[in-house]
Amino acid sequence: MSATIRSGYFTPLLFLLVAAATAILGSYFFMLQNFSADTTLLFTRYTARVSFMFFLPVFALGALHQLYPTDLGRALMGRRRQLGLAFAAAHTVHLVGIIANYLAIDAWFSADDTAAIVIYVFIGLMAVTSNSFSVRQLKGVWRVLHKVGLYGIFIGFFVTYLGRVQGYSQSQLDPSLMDPFWVYVVLLALVTSAWLLRIAAFWQKRG
């Protein structure tokens, strides 16, 4: 596996994976099903899951490799930028789903979406500065931008999945549109575990 990761084919294959996953979701919800509030809501949910699977290694990989260094971890560390760009691409598709859902329910962005809009601004800034030139030109600002943005995205996922777990029994959604409770527990556990890894790595450095 590490040999494949080191190869020059890793990046295009990664983006192919993003494209394939989102195309399958799009085909199911927009072609096999009717374009409606329900189908667009499901599309936004599952595209968020796809992007979360790319975000998780970006957020946790550095800490995990620091605590438990491996050859595979070292190889993946060299590809964090590509993983981050893959996340940005997948989350852009998620944004398309959000817009489609608003169109389906005849609504638009409001003050309640401020946090999400800010997070998307950070994702855009992080994507366009994910290159060596920007690192050299922005220097310390680059590090602050990417760290603040990374934690902003983490908070977005954490709050979302925590809210799903806490409010599951009171949800007003049609039961047919809800995933089993354990799905949200697993997602919350994953994002929490990634956070705990970063905390452990922080205290290891201080020690």
Q: Does the pLDDT at position 24 exceed 80?
A: no
Report pLDDT for 57.
Answer: 92
The band of 125, judged by pLDDT with boundaries at 50, 70 and 90, is very high
More confident residue, 168 or 184: 184
Whether 74 has a pLDDT exceeding 90, the answer reads no
Rounded distance between C-alpha atoms, residue 103 and residue 83, angstroms: 30
CATH number of 2-206, picked from 3.30.1450, 3.30.160, 1.10.443, 1.20.120: 1.20.120
For residue 30, what pLDDT is reported? 59
Lowest mean pLDDT among 19-23, 46-50, 80-84: 19-23
Residue written as token pair 């199911």: 28
Q: How many CA atoms within 13 Å lie on the side-chain side of 34?
A: 4
Burial class (CB in 10 A: 0-12, 13-18, 19+), 84: buried
Residue 3: band (very low, low, confident or very high) from pLDDT cuts 50, 70, 90: very low
Which residue, chain included where needed, has tokens 């998620």?
94
User: Which has more pLDDT, 20 or 115?
Assistant: 115
- The 10 Å Cβ neighbour count of residue 181 is 12
Domain ranges of the chain: 2-206
Q: Is the dihedral of CA 176, 87, 122, 67 positive or negative?
A: positive
DSSP 70: -
